[in-house]
Amino acid sequence: MTATIIRPAPPTTRSYAWLPWPMAALAAAVALSGSGAASLNGDELATISAARRSISGLWELSQHIDGHFLPYYVFMHLWVKLGTAELWLRLPSALAIGVAAWFLTDLGRRLHGMTAGVTAAVIFTALPSVSYYGAFARSYAFAAAAVVFAFWALHRAIEEPRRTGRWVLYGGAVALVCCTHLFAVLTLPAHLLLARRATWSRMLAALAIGGLPAVALGLIGYGERHAISWIPQRGPDVLLKFPKMAADSMEVGLLLFAVALLGAALTWRLKETPALLAWLVLPPVLLLAVSHLVTPVYVDRYLFVTTPALALLAGLAAAGMPRLPVVAGAVLAGVTIALAVPAHLDVRDYNGRYADFPGALARIKTRPGDALVYGQSSERKGVLYYAAKPLPDDVLLASREPEPHGFAWPERDDVAAALEGRDRVWMLWRGAKTAKLPRIEAVRAAGFEQSSAWHSAEIPGITVALFTRR
């Protein structure tokens, strides 16, 4: 007997039109719940450093480093005028997660009904990776929201291809994708699988015009590729870790990838299904290809934009079940939540961003005449942000403003002369206690030896060490 796949007729646009709003509020609230626990990490502190600069200063910075983040930095430049508290800095990302959940719910509803939309939104909200990037002062949540919006806008344009306004909206959504993060554009090739003879010309025009920001930012990024020289070259085996990256939990990731494939099988007649699969699997493959053809760029967080596709395919799996789709959706969401709990606790830990600056500062017991030296000048921004008590003298600091072309501070290089007359030197660096940094060796050469050290829980983590004169 041949199994029959039952697919209900697509819902009318008015059916359950209210559903996206509670789903958006839930997603934003869950993301925001993790915003105040973990201390800011280096990337988030770079956001503050950039946002506090003038527009001309941002332009100067963008010509040397992080040029592809310029649109986000301009937005945050305006945002931080109202404050720089952790919660306030991360609020835009939480709101962006809410926006992503809104469009994800409505897209699932339009593709396959209420069950698909709600299940997709609940699973998306339940993923630890969503809580991580939803409480992260960088543009990754913005990119995810823009990518979902672009797919939603394309679906709407294809529904009524003669309405020019919908193609204009789609072109704007593509431009937004390009402005949120350069590698978010790797989701756009999936859109081509929805092209039809009647829509081909308008779709290509919208993609071409909307993609212009990507051309400009891509050229800037290529010129600044030296700034990402720290990224190692990866082999094809890195793709095996992709499910864990998408969910921030290997158990949840493997479960949802299996369910997503089931969803694709159950809804194979849905013309959007191949595009959804491509949205999920093409970006990591293309990013790896760019790494080998141009320069190493494969970093897990650049692929967060695929997470909504994973949730949506899982939602389609529940909706495509021949019987009791609502029960299937509830069970899948419940299992996902249960498996995700440990990872959610890690994300919300005080050290959930792997940069425990408050813990490091608590180890510094300042005495009059103590000096403070940084293993890497850029770590100063974390100390300055979290310092709640007087610090040892910053003896190497040459200017109170960070360098205009980066996030480090100008420092004097005559370490021995700067430490003359000092008996105790506190050092802070990113890395293990055994790290071998030129600045550490310079302090030793100036006549000091390490007497104690503390390292935060993670790797590479932050080390605080006390050096005393021999």
Residue 376 has pLDDT above 60, yes or no: yes
> What is the model's pLDDT at position 122?
97
Q: Is pLDDT larger for residue 344 or for residue 3?
A: 344
- Confidence band for 8, pLDDT divided at 50, 70 and 90: very low
Average pLDDT over every residue of 372-380: 96
- Confidence band for 4, pLDDT divided at 50, 70 and 90: very low
> What is the model's pLDDT at position 38?
85
> What is the model's pLDDT at position 198?
87
Least confident of 123-132, 214-223, 271-280, 286-295: 214-223
Q: For the whole prediction, is pTM greater than 0.85?
A: yes
pLDDT single digits (tens) 145-173? 999 999 999 999 999 999 999 999 999 99
Average pLDDT over every residue of 165-190: 97
> What is the model's pLDDT at position 440?
96
> What is the model's pLDDT at position 361?
95
> What is the model's pLDDT at position 362?
94
> What is the model's pLDDT at position 15?
65
- Summary mean pLDDT of the chain: 93
pLDDT single digits (tens) 44-91? 999 999 999 999 999 999 999 999 999 999 999 999 999 999 999 999
Q: Is pLDDT larger for residue 311 or for residue 322?
A: 311
> What is the model's pLDDT at position 36?
72
> What is the model's pLDDT at position 2?
43
> What is the model's pLDDT at position 14?
59
Residue 458 has pLDDT above 90, yes or no: no
SS3 track for the chain? CCCCCCCCCCCCCCCCCCCHHHHHHHHHHHHHCCCCCCCCCHHHHHHHHHHCCCHHHHHHHHCCCCHHHHHHHHHHHHHHHHCCCHHHHHHHHHHHHHHHHHHHHHHHHHHHCHHHHHHHHHHHHHCHHHHHHHCCCCCHHHHHHHHHHHHHHHHHHHHCCCCHHHHHHHHHHHHHHHHHCHHHHHHHHHHHHHCCCCCHHHHHHHHHHHCHHHHHHHHHHHHCHHHHCCCCCCCHHHHHHHHHHHHCCHHHHHHHHHHHHHHHHHCCCCCCHHHHHHHHHHHHHHHHHHHHHCCCCCCHHHHHHHHHHHHHHHHHHHHCCCCCHHHHHHHHHHHHHHHHHHHHHHHCCCCCCCCCHHHHHHCCCCCCCCEEEECCHHHHHHHHHHCCCCCCEECCECCCCCCCCCCCCCECCCHHHHCCCCCEEEEEEECCCCCCCHHHHHHHHCCEEEEEEEECCCCCCEEEEEEEEC
